[in-house]
Structure 1
């Protein structure tokens, strides 16, 4: 069985002030009960790399269920995103090893998601699979 999130709100962008890429999926834009948030520092320093903070940070529903790394595969299409996690990540996030995120194609700005996913996974190209 997979963890399933029906997303009514999707976001992809970069926060210039904090120098972080953000990609998010949530059940609601203003009062999310369920969400997945991916974050990655645009310009990690040497200290970040040594601590593992140069990897993608994933959160599931709250910050207590989050970690750096742990993503084995991310598949993105116009209506579904599937994230396959390591066993450790699934335990830390308190979910199954595969998270299936479903959404309406109209909710996803595909060119924007494509741009930010390529940037976020630039160091891990084999992890990312796009079907646009």
Structure 2
């Protein structure tokens, strides 16, 4: 059997672990002054798999009352989203793993954690890693990387 490409490795890993796993060819960060957004997608223009993390710079009383004063995570569409419930984030060369609470897994309709395969040489990789670390510090989420 020949050597597997990164996408094939992601598919096999997903089958073994039941994680939501994909090869992200498009990653980005965006800060509009009100919130920071970090995104991962399998395609820039027509994604079939994607993860978006959003963190407001400040929360108002209404956000706090409604439980919307935490990082927001979404996969694929708005019906698969949740505020909070991220247990940890691990960044390693070639991947980003987001460990989730059981409640968040249920809200996102997935059985495992999120594993995004990202080439470390991707131009936005270091910026994404930096923003994830900042968010984890503010949200008190364990971070390694």
TM-score by length of 1: 0.87
Q: Secondary structure at the match of 2:133?
A: helix
Residue 30 of structure 2 corresponds to which residue in structure 1? 13
Aligned residues: 128
Runs of 4+ in 1 over 6 A off after TM superposition: none
1:122 correspondence with 2:137 = yes
Q: Which residue of 2 aligns with 1:42?
A: 57
- Could you list the per-position Cα deviations for residues 87-108 of structure 1 after superposition, in whole angstroms to 9, with x for gaps in the alignment? 1111110112311110212225
Q: Which has the larger radius of gyration?
A: 2
2:98 to 83, 88, 92: 83
- Counterparts of residues 55-94 of structure 1 (less than 5 Å): 55-94=70-109
Kept after mapping to 2: 8 A contact 1:7/1:28: yes
Gaps of 5+ in 2: 1-16
Q: Which has the higher strand share?
A: 1
TM-score scaled by length of structure 2: 0.80
* Cα pair 1:15 1:21 within 8 Å, conserved: yes
Question: How far 1:56 moved relative to its partner?
Answer: 0.5
CA drift of 1:122 comes to 2.5
Question: What's the CA shift string for 1:49-101, capped at 9, x where partnerless?
Answer: 22221100000111110010111111112310001111111111011231111
Alpha-carbon distance between aligned partners in 1 of 2:111 and 2:27, rounded to the nearest angstrom: 21
Counterpart for residue 10 of structure 2 = none
Distance of 2:114 and 2:125 partners within structure 1: 20
